[in-house]
């Protein structure tokens, strides 16, 4: 997964080599949570079950063998390419200790990072409300009534808005 330009300074200088080591040497090109293979298209049912064509069996979202699905897999199934990423288990990009890194497919990475994403989304909303309270006064407990329209003086085209008054 590419690193955003504004976050490059958080990663160690040898990050490409560390990521390569974790994904392809330690994990042998498979997700460390569900065992999906990197660079292949995997047939899955959307609920975590997927067909492992190397070992000719169905697996669940944790990589364990499961029974063959009873539902119509041609209707529910779909193909998805698997891309391994090197995930930080402690959500700290500056920590490149090998025990804090895992090779995860995109599905497992999103599931693992879900709680952290929700926490950050809550913090961002909290900060926005705090800024609204700081600059626009108290806001109601429910809804987003505290969000007021941007004052004309703050708009980029404020000169053109006042042109008709002069």
Percent of the chain with pLDDT over 70: 78
List the chain domain ranges: 5-40+82-162
Report the pLDDT averaged over residues 67-71: 87
Percent of the chain with pLDDT over 90: 33
Residue 101 burial by CB count (10 A; 0-12/13-18/19+): exposed, middle or buried? buried
* 13-64: pLDDT as tens digits: 899 999 999 999 999 999 999 999 999 999 998 888 888 898 899 988 888 8
From residue 2, how far is each of 6, 35, 41, 149 by CA, in Å? Answer: 12, 22, 20, 36
**Does the predicted model carry a pTM greater than 0.75?**
no
Predicted pLDDT at 166: 47
Cα gap 48→46, rounded to integer Å: 6
Helix/strand/coil percent split, the chain, to 5 = 40, 15, 45
Residue in 33, 18, 35 with CA at minimum distance from that of residue 111: 33
Predicted pLDDT at 139: 55
pLDDT band at 82 (very low <50, low <70, confident <90, very high): very high
* 118-159: pLDDT as tens digits: 888 888 887 877 776 666 665 555 555 555 555 555 555 545
Residue 5 confidence (pLDDT) above 50: yes
Report the pLDDT averaged over residues 66-75: 86
DSSP class of residue 37 equals: B
Residue in 11, 18, 31, 2 with CA at minimum distance from that of residue 112: 31
């Amino acid at each position: 997964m590419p690193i955003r330009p504004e976050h490059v300074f958080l990663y160690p200088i040898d990050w490409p080599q560390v990521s390569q080591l974790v994904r392809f040497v330690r994990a042998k090109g498979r997700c460390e949570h569900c065992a999906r293979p990197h660079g292949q298209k995997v047939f899955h049912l959307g609920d975590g079950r997927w067909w492992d064509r190397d070992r000719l069996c169905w697996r669940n979202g944790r990589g364990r063998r499961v029974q063959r699905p009873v539902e119509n897999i041609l209707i529910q199934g779909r193909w998805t390419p698997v891309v391994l990423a090197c995930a930080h288990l402690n959500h700290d990009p500056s920590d490149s200790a090998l025990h804090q890194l895992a090779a995860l497919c995109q599905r497992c990475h999103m599931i693992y990072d879900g709680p952290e994403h929700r926490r950050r989304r809550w913090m961002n909303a909290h900060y926005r409300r705090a800024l609204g309270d700081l600059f626009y006064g108290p806001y109601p407990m429910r809804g987003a009534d505290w969000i007021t329209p941007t004052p004309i003086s703050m708009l980029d085209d404020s000169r053109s808005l006042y042109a008709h008054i002069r």
